[in-house]
Structures are given as C-alpha cells and as structure tokens.
Structure 1
C-alpha cells in the first residue's frame, strides 16, 4: 500500500502538471523528441526492480501461510458449495474424520465417513470461532464449482477447488469485541466471503467468524455437540465388509435408479 500510494501521488501530480504546462497555445510548437535509450532503460528498470521486490515479498508471505501450520494450530475445515459455506471442527481427539463425495446426502452435506472413529466427535457449527493469538489452520475444499475463501480483515484468500484441497493458516490478533470497540460499530463481525463468481447465488456466500479470548473459545468449544449425536440416524447407513472397508448401504430402489 505504501509503494502504490507513493506511485499514485507522483503520477497524479505529473499528470495534472503536464496537462497544464503543455496545454494548447496558438504560438507554441512541439519539440520533436523521438527516442532516448537512457530514458527507456531508466523507466524500464525502475518498475522492474520495484515489481521484483514486491513479488519476492509476496512469495515469502505466500510460502509462509501455505507452509505446515504449527502443531498447536486450531484446525477448521471449510467447504464451499452453491451457495453457502459448510464448516467442520475436529472434536476432542483433534483429528478430522475422513470425508468423501460418496457419503454426501441431504443431512451429511460434507460427506463425512462416520465409520471412521476420528469422525465421531467432529462437529459442524453455524459460525466459526477461533481464539485470539493462536494459529488457525483452514483446510479448504469445494463440493461443486470453484469458490474462494476470503477473510478481508485478515488479508488472506485461497481458492476452494473441486478435487484439490487447499489450505492456509493465520494468527488472529484482535477479538471481535475489540474490533467493535475500535470501530465504534457494535454490530461489527469478521466474515468469510466468496470472491469467485460461482453462480447466481454467489452474493449469499457469507459466514460469520468470531475471534474470542482463549478462555471464551474454550468455553464455546466445550459447549459444542458432535454432529453424529445430533443425527444418529446416519450411522445406519454405514457398515463394514470383511476387510474392514467402508461400504455405504443402498436400498434396492436406489440401485435400480442408478442402473
């Protein structure tokens, strides 16, 4: 922003100055000045050097947020679908259960494999909560088309691509309450937005993100109920064959429909 701001001010001053200085006058004639190699080199090299420095700085930042997250990072899975975000947290075991498109239905929208023991304590809240001052890892995927996870207040963005999981991590430094005080807006909220035009309902893809004090976050975490406890009927859809591989049970009517 500093670099762009400086360039903007200089170019705007020059633009208006030259427009004034070289305005049309009947008694003035233009000086013919077709080429200057030194000038060409100067105004090519300066932007090239500045852009190289900006790209290098951006690459370092990109490499940092997409590198392996710290071991104590809070893990949150975010899935994009037309036209909403779905969110899943690991439970007390700290591990997300497996998921597959084969298990997606009207209730199990994230396609979680509930034959995986790690999935039994996973929960899916209606808003994201993260603790202040701790690293947060977002694991991102898409269910249908390309979406883009954008946290404007944290200056981070990553595409959600079908069939290609992506991720980034960040550290929130101000709680939602602190931002409400700082902005003077009691209704301020951090949010997750979609910055990829993904269809007619693209505008509706907004999800609240709350930054809590660590103690408040732990209280919120303890109050969450595993998804499978809220939807125990899902367990009837999963069985195991003799090799302990997961098989999704299907009714005869479903099989006939597929055939």
Structure 2
C-alpha cells in the first residue's frame, strides 16, 4: 500500500528524529555547549570536518575541541594566528592540515571581532527578498576567508557551484531547533535553509522524484530543497536528519526507503 510523500516522511521523522539515533554524527559534539558563542564555533568545526570515514571525523572533531578546552569562544579570544598554527601544527584530517585548520579558526575569530558573532555575520547577508540563504553563504564564506585566509577543503565555495553540504549541515544545526538540532541562531528563518546534499541525500532526492540531475551540486541541492519545500514550506530541511540515518548508520538500509512512495 502506497502513502503520500508527506505521510511517509512524517512517519520517518517521528520515528528517527531522536537523539538516540544521533551517534555516530559530529552533531553530537554540539550538545556539550550551552553558550551559543561556544556552540556556533563547535558547529563550524564539526561541520567543516564532516567528510571521510565517520570514525575519523569523530576523532578529528574530538581532538580539536579537546584542545580548545571548555570554551571554544574564549580559546579563540585568547589566540592569535601564530599560536593557532603552533597549537595545531600536527593536525591532519584527510586533505586538511594544521595550516588549513588554523586559517578556519583565525577566520572565525576575525568574523567574531567584526560582527560580534558568527550568527550576526551570517544574518547580515540574509535578505527578505531572497528565497533561500545561498547569497548569505557567499557573504559568510568571503568573510571567513578574507585577508588571505585559506582553510582549503574545510570550507566549500558556493560561488563555484558546490552543493556546500557541510555548510548547509552547519546551518541546519544552528538555525533549526527540535529533538535533534540544538539551534541557537535567532535571526535566520528556517524556511530559507537549503538541504545538505551528499551522495545519500542525492539518492533519496532522486528516489522521491525531486531531481534527475546526476551530479550532487548546488543546482541539485536547490531542486531537492524545492521538492521538500512543497511538502513542508515552513521547514524544508525538517526531514534531513531522519532520512540520512539510512546512509550513515550500519543498521539502517537506504534501499529500504525505495518502496511505498506515492510518486
């Protein structure tokens, strides 16, 4: 028996959008930070490192945040670029090294110095005339990488057409608030978010008939988001966490999603 997309998506959301299904996911690190000033920095780091094998992701995020002690915000306040380069000189995560990480952290420190917070910087690029946060992402990335800062692969460039999966993941964590996403950013409307699209969400988007594009780029992410927006206009990224459990957790088979849709 087939059911409507919304009915099935809501059923999946209600069943799997729970903290008990978070591990293994770098999102779990954000729950340790009650102060939004710490959480947004932890979220930026965790999302930037969210590529490769999940075990290595968790190890790398844990190492960086552990080095920053209890407050990433205070750690950055008391750090200059020379100190960051020295402190993380042994860091390595796939394509990224200590110089890339230091550039990301120093970029965040500079943004906070100019705007007061990462939230204020991102919110400054959001316009009521824009249907989504694409242009705000461009502004945010430009600010993080200004003055020659080069985080390398840690920050994707939306202007180059990347799906910016990790940046959109970071924004989901910071803007939405439910049983899983901790939220904390007040000035951005969740209806403007773009779905984080990796190979798993790309496959799901094609399964749902939201896109036929073969490449998981920004255009594909926009199409998939538009498909979800027709079902959940006020919160198009609502189903992202629950659906992607089927690609992340070893005990959940993504192919089991292929049946029962009224397409």
Q: If the TM-score is normalised by the length of the shorter chain, which range does it land in?
A: under 0.3
- Between Structure 1 and Structure 2, whose CA radius of gyration is higher? 1
Q: Which has the higher helix share?
A: 2
Q: Which has the higher strand share?
A: 1
TM-score (norm 1): 0.26
Q: Which has the higher contact order (CA 8 A, sep 6+)?
A: 2
TM-score (norm 2): 0.26
